[in-house]
Amino acid sequence: MTQDKESWPFLSQKTVDLKIIRKAKMKIPFGTITITSKSRELINEALDSGRVSNGKYVREFEELFARLTGTKEAVAVSSGTDADMLALAVLYDFGAKRGDEIIVPALSFVATGNAVLHAGFTPVFVDVELETLNINPRRIEQVITKKTRAIMPVHLMGKPAKMDEINKIARKHKLFVIEDAAEAHGAVYKGKNVGTLGDMAAYSLYLAHIITTVEGGIVTTDREDFAEILRSLRSHGRACKCKVCVVNTNSAYCSKRFKSGRDVRFIFERVGYSSKMNELEAAVGIGSLHMYKKIISKRKRNLLTMIKRFQKFKSCMTTFQQEEHEEIGPHAFPMIVKEKAGFTRDQLVDYLDKRGIDTRDLFSSMPTQCPGFKFLKYKLGAFPNAEYIGDNGLHIGVHQDLGEKHVDYFIRTVGDFLERYAR
């Protein structure tokens, strides 16, 4: 069988690409997970006990997480998206109505916008700042209406949003502030931990994050009434919402069970969700918290080294900076290709991928680049910074399984790419 000669260059390039892949010096995966011996021990104990639903290990994890962030309460749920969603749903107990508006940044992982909609609210989007990746506070008041109930800033890539300005606007307009801290474990803003800067904060505990339960989320707050409502919401809205449930943890007698004349576990006070964390996930989380200082130290070192060394590429690419008033939560390392760089984001991604460096796009403008939000009728061009990042941004991991040799390899590989393609 003869081949068309025009196919030869394609085959030749494919062969070259395969050789590159085989010769890649090392792999830099985007994420990792550390499951400690402590976690394995607790998982086995839970399995042996036969009680694997929400119980004593979930409560222990909540107490440890609250202590770490410096809040009075932490309520564990089944995902970071649910953490956003339930924090928003708390507002119905304080006068919010379905269809009311929540202000969010246009750029975030799609879960932020999804959570607003699933909670029964309408997301109102605001463009971000290119240099911080976060919501632009100067544009927030332009979209506040009589239906606005809260501002949900996102600390994207662990970089704290400008919370002083956001809280000032919220106080002026009597709005709640709910931090989307999904990626911001360990972040600090002006001496205060992220997670303590608003009325509530919602964290993701997904496996690639600094603190993980494999899947899971958690909401922090200083308000006991918010925490009680959150415990109700995560379990179908039931009236049974004690901080420590003796039935779930000890199979003991509950004096409150028939106090109202009916079984409190089957009185449903509000529209709720099925969003509980289970004991096996909490066991992974407890082990993760025991390793927290070691994990975050490695990740911070990787992130700050990347930020410093990446400056040599500033003529054609940018990244965020850690400013004097903050500590970035070392979730990942973002990059944005500048205009007229001479190459595209996707060319860089392909080059890195062939050399073993795993990347992710730096999300999208939810209202204008995500088809699922098309029904909200925002027009392309309405959020120029978010859209630019959506087209030209990417990020790589900085996790605890990486070290100096991986950072060296990454910087060297980017340099090799730019020698070939940058103008």
Active site residues: 209
Q: Is the dihedral of CA 153, 68, 282, 237 positive or negative?
A: negative
Give the tokens for residue 69.
């962030």
Distance separating alpha carbons of residues 326 and 333, to the nearest angstrom: 16
Distance separating alpha carbons of residues 81 and 196, to the nearest angstrom: 19
Question: What residue has token string 């994207």?
Answer: 156
Give the tokens for residue 266.
């089957």
Give the tokens for residue 377.
């009728």
